[in-house]
Amino acid sequence: MERCLSALPHGRPLCRPHPGRRRSGPLRHCARLFLFAWLLCLGCGATLPVRAEPLGTSAPAREAAAPPLPSPTEPAGPAGSAATSSDAPAIPWVEQDGLAFAELPLPLRDGPGPSLAVVRLPPENFDFVLCAVGRGKHPPLTLRQWAQREGLSAAINASMYLPDGVTSTGYLREGDYANNRRLVRRFGAFFVAGPDDAALPAATIIDKDEPDWQERLARYRLVVQNYRLISRDGRILWKPGGPRTAIAAVGVDAEGRILFLHCREPLDAYSFAEALLRLPLRLGATMYVEGGGQAGLVLRAGGIERDYAGRSAAEFLSAGSIRVALPNVLGARRRAAAPESGTPAGRR
């Protein structure tokens, strides 16, 4: 302990030992141990758990897309090209009831990554529908329940949703039903289906960079707005890094077929998009529809039944949950006269 001189007139010492000084040694020791453990976690690539967000307001989705999207004239980076790598894994398609399904590892820069589930849906074989609790006035359902109730071959999140548990974060309507009529400036992708003219694509994704995008939206019965992940010309519209989360996405390929995409394990959105472009999917416009535990995909086709639930960084010790109830779901219902093959005879 420091020695203090009694220099004041009343005899009190010039300095006093702090009351907690004797206990500071163990506290400093604990602090050092915590700092060492934290640095060890960072060195090993682990992530510390974070507070779970309310359903439908996934923090990874909001934070990843918060930076402004690049200008359409901005040159694409090396990974922003639609060209696929020569060493990309072949896609083990299984065809059933007019669609094609596959599971394969995502080809990340440093090797095989988490598993990707993809369902390829030719629009001439399927009708795309919106399943929404705001229309039926009943509680939200799981993806499996939506598929059973509506007779869907495949179902995926339509979009993220607001804390009210009903309203989509972006523009969402089907026919006379409007869930959200507000066009969100930062959301640059629109899934559309059910045109008023047979000469138009039966289903596709409209990119906000297209000069006539608003006029084209008016021609479709179903419109779902979300963040762009990949532009129609194959550029990644997401910044590298960012939060890691499970991801559900919807894309369209060069043949006009719709793809439902799901990665269950946490992955940042840029790496996910980069890996998709390395696969021979021939992807064009692709939009992010949900992340974390709410991100799901269900497949019911012939003898194939699959249920996928996403995991977030906060849930890395859990197995995810297929029981998450969702208010708005994008579904694919097989047409009665659809051909058996998963490869269409021609574009509509």
Tokens representing 69 are 């999207």
In a domain, 136, yes or no: yes
In a domain, 258, yes or no: yes
pLDDT at 265: 94
| pLDDT tens per residue across span 151-170 | 999 999 999 999 999 999 99
| pLDDT tens per residue across span 21-47 | 444 454 455 555 555 554 444 344 333
Residue 344 has pLDDT above 60, yes or no: no
Residue 7 CB partners (closer than 8 Å, separation 6+): 14
- Into how many domains does the chain fold? 1
8 A C-beta contact, residue 277 and residue 84: yes
Residue 244 CB partners (closer than 8 Å, separation 6+): 47, 60, 266, 267, 268, 313
Task: Look at 291 and 6; give whichever has higher pLDDT.
Answer: 291
Which own/partner pairs from 99-105 qualify as long-range (CB within 8 Å, at least 24 positions apart)? 99/125, 99/126, 99/153, 99/154, 99/301, 99/332, 99/334, 99/342, 100/342, 100/343, 101/299, 101/301, 101/304, 101/306, 104/279
In a domain, 48, yes or no: no
pLDDT at 90: 87
| pLDDT tens per residue across span 249-284 | 999 999 999 999 999 999 999 999 999 999 999 999
pLDDT at 315: 52
In a domain, 287, yes or no: yes
| pLDDT tens per residue across span 91-147 | 999 999 999 999 999 999 998 999 999 999 999 999 999 999 998 878 899 999 999
d(CA 302, CA 67) in angstroms, rounded, equals: 43
Task: Look at 161 and 16; give whichever has higher pLDDT.
Answer: 161
Residue 322 has pLDDT above 80, yes or no: no
Name the residue range of residue 100's domain: 59-334
Using the Cα atoms of residue 80, residue 86, residue 92 and residue 94 in order, give the sign of their dihedral: positive
Please give the average per-residue pLDDT across 298-310, as a whole number. 93
Average pLDDT score, the chain: 78
In a domain, 161, yes or no: yes
pLDDT at 28: 52
- pLDDT band, very low/low/confident/very high, at 72 (cuts 50, 70, 90): very low
In a domain, 343, yes or no: no
In a domain, 8, yes or no: no
In a domain, 105, yes or no: yes
Q: What percent of the chain has pLDDT over 90?
A: 60
